[in-house]
């Protein structure tokens, strides 16, 4: 019995699937324009033009930002996130923050709730 199972296993593994078409999933897994939302968890942090770059301004504790991209610096092993935040005039401002300066949430509602705790 064991030799028969072994034979079936080996013949099943040797077949080539090169002729079979690859069907993509019905919905692409990365359909959102953002990764998540972050809440600044330090007193203030500089919003940088690039990871480790020049300051474009700063954000205060409790500020909610949309996270667009995540990058890890190979040399320093620091994790950076590209964020977008609407300023007082409603204009979107993008910049880089160290990931440790944020608490990250999967939706804006959770981030806004957490932000209220920081602002009190």
Domain architecture of the chain: domains with CATH: 29-119 (2.30.30.40)
- The predicted model gives 89-110 an average pLDDT of 90
* 95 neighbors 18 (Cβ within 8 angstroms): no
Confidence of residue 28 (pLDDT cuts 50, 70, 90): very low
What pLDDT is recorded for position 16? 52
Q: Is the pLDDT of residue 52 over 60?
A: yes
What pLDDT is recorded for position 117? 86
């Amino acid at each position: 019995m064991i030799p028969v199972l072994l034979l079936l296993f080996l013949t099943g593994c040797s077949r080539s699937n090169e002729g079979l078409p690859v069907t993509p999933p019905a919905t692409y897994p990365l359909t959102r324009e953002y990764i998540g939302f972050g809440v600044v968890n330090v007193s203030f942090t500089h919003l940088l033009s690039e990871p480790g770059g020049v300051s474009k301004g700063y954000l205060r504790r409790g500020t909610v930002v949309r996270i667009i991209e995540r990058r890890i610096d190979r040399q320093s092993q620091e994790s950076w996130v590209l964020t977008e935040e609407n300023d007082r005039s409603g204009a979107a401002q993008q910049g880089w923050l160290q990931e440790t300066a944020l608490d990250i949430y999967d939706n804006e509602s959770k981030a806004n709730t957490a932000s209220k705790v920081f602002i009190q």
